[in-house]
Amino acid sequence: MRGGAAWFRPWAELEQDAVSLRSYQPLLVPGLLQTEEYARAILNTGGLVPPSEVDQIVASRIDRQAVLRRDAPPQLVAVLDEVVLRRPVGDGSVMAGQLRHLASAAECEHVQVRVIPAENPWHTGLAGPFVLGRLPDGTELAYLDNQLRGQIVTDPLDVANLGRRWESVTGEALPRRQSIELIREVATTWT
């Protein structure tokens, strides 16, 4: 795997070994489901990432997605807040392309994308994004992201706590088919 932030590489390597990934994202499409244009628009916002690094990070993010196309891909369940579908990242064509890609990925047998409707009240997931991963030997771990860097969580009590939060956020989400329909509907508003 090339490029990317050095602090992220340990998680990216674990992600490649995972048999299941459960991702909650209240603000952005998860990296494993981003289009190149969407990722580039995110990284170019605010001028905080030098252009030379943007290319490297985007390439690394797209490379990571190969895990979903391998012979035995992990089961990926991504729960997003509806605001992720409606907040402009880049221009309308970037958003339309991203949402079409997201709906297409959600049609894959091993990928689920579920959306928490905007009208739902505050829920435990809004405290921040997280990813739960399970390795082939049954080990469960988590990844937390913040403004500076990410953190791999291995303490069983902390992972269990995040597991309870996962159950809470999935309980707020629309079922798979309704989520895909909503994603497709919102995609049309971006064209």
pLDDT tens readout for residues 90-117: 999 999 999 999 999 999 999 999 999 9
Q: From start to end of 26-139, where are the E strands?
A: 75-81, 111-116, 130-134
Q: Residue with structure tokens 């995609």?
A: 187
pTM: 0.91
Q: pLDDT tens for residues 32-46?
A: 999 999 999 999 987
Residue 189: per-residue pLDDT: 97
Angle at 94 between CA 93 and CA 95, to 5 degrees: 90
Residue 1: per-residue pLDDT: 44
Residue 126: per-residue pLDDT: 76
Here the tokens at position 144 are 């937390």
Give 70's contacts (C-beta < 8 A, 6+ positions apart).
Answer: none
Low-confidence ranges of the chain (pLDDT < 50): 1-3
Residue 173: per-residue pLDDT: 96
Q: How far is CA 3 from CA 23, 30, 53, 55, in A?
A: 22, 18, 8, 9
Q: From start to end of the chain, where are the E strands?
A: 20-25, 75-81, 111-116, 130-134, 140-145, 150-153
